[in-house]
Amino acid sequence: MYLIRGQNNIKLFKKRFPEISLSATIGNFDGMHLGHKAILEKVKKNAKEKNLSTLVIFTEPHAAEYFSKVNNTSPPPRIIPWRDKLRLISENGIDFCMLLRFDESLKSMTPEQFTEKILEELQIKSLTIGDDFKFGKDRKGDYQFLKNWGESMSIEIDKTDTIKVDDQRVSSTRIREALISNNFKNANAMLDWHYSYSGKVVYGNQLGREIGVPTANIWIPKQKLPISGVYAVRCLVDHAKYLGIANMGIRPTVGGTRPVLETHIFDFEKDIYGRRITVQFIEKIREEVKFDSIDLLKSQIKKDIEDAKKILD
């Protein structure tokens, strides 16, 4: 999948792919849930019918993250980092992605300017959006605006119906709430994949090995995720599945400040530094807390392991 990094690279994209016309969509696509997949299926269907290539346009950072920084408020957590978003979009069979930097310039762009400077420049011939999609300055752009624009430009504008799980609309907000409240069954039903985090194993402070509980450590991006604390987990290493326990947090007992995912894999002794693993979250055991001593931490980890094995049994 080819990534277009920003509006300034549209000309380079067109130069490299001069004959391409596009079936596209726009959105955050945080989590790649059932609603997102329905949109992508329609994008691909329209592309096949009209001999077009497919494109997903999303912003970085999310608009909510940008406004929270401006207003000095706490941003909503992301379901997945943007690199995982790219991977999931690619796995869903999309040809191209465009990352638009959400900044003052994009925030101030009217719907008319957005369609002219971005959508028309990209040679989009079909555009599919979610039923709640809004864009442009003050969110004045919507389906009806795009429908009128599309008719004037001979561009097909399509939208998807609401996707529901348990008679409620599937949304990234609902999924975040489910993950925060430890309702992985509900979150996974809306995602249509098992909520997990992947990354390369890096060297830590080796404390886990010293206390007899070696861990595989993965650094976490600066954006806040909707999970924190100690979890019973499944781990995928080289396509093999293992059981384990993981702590998502800053490790306050040892003076940590940077978020990290520490995973202790049961009955596992392989050297996997530098290798990519996937950690699937099954159930939360407790919140991360600061202990007064390493011995107290060690005692709690022993109990956590026992609790995790009961959950995973």
**CATH, domain range 194-312:** 2.40.30.30
pLDDT beyond 80 at 261? yes
Please tell me the predicted confidence (pLDDT) of residue 257.
73
* Mean pLDDT value across residues 26-39: 95
Q: What is the pLDDT of residue 15?
A: 94
Report cis status (omega within 30 of 0) of the bond before 61. yes
Q: Where in the chain is the domain with CATH 3.40.50.620?
A: 2-165
Report the pLDDT value the prediction gives residue 69, as an integer from 0 to 100.
85
- When pLDDT is averaged across residues 63-70 and rounded to a whole number, the result is 87
pLDDT in tens, 198-254: 999 998 766 667 777 889 999 888 778 999 999 999 999 998 999 999 999 988 887
Q: Does domain 2-165 have CATH number 3.40.50.620?
A: yes
- Residue with token string 């943007």: 82
At residue 263, the pLDDT reads: 96
Using CA atoms, how far apart are residues 175 and 195, in angstroms rounded to an integer?
10
Q: How far apart are CA 54 and CA 248, in angstroms?
A: 36
Question: Which among 257, 200, 252 is positioned nearest to 230, based on CA atoms?
Answer: 252
User: Which H helix or E strand runs over 262?
Assistant: strand 260-265
Both tokens of 263, joined, read: 């995973």
For residue 240, give both structure tokens: 């093999």
Query: In which residue ranges of the chain is CATH 2.40.30.30 found?
Result: 194-312
- Could you read off the pLDDT of 36-66 as tens digits, one per residue? 999 999 999 999 999 999 999 999 988 888 8
Q: What interhelical angle do 172-180 and 184-191 show, nearest 10?
A: 160
218 contacts 201 by C-beta, under 8 angstroms: yes
Residue 152 has pLDDT above 70, yes or no: yes
What are the angstrom distances between the C-alpha of 312 and each of 132, 178, 258, 295, 309? 39, 20, 29, 26, 5
Residues 35/130, Cβ–Cβ less than 8 Å = yes
How many C-beta atoms lie closer than 10 Å to residue 126's C-beta?
A: 24
> Which residue shows structure tokens 């955050």?
28
Return all residues near 10 (Cβ < 8 A) that are at least 6 apart. Answer: 4, 118, 121, 122
- pLDDT in the model for residue 151: 96
- Pick from 220, 202, 230, 204: which is nearest to 302 by CA? 230
Average pLDDT in the 99-126 region? Answer: 94
What's residue 222's pLDDT? 77
Q: What is the pLDDT of residues 161-188, one digit of tens each?
A: 999 999 999 999 999 999 999 999 999 9
Give me the mean pLDDT over the 264-276 stretch: 93
pLDDT of res. 206: 67
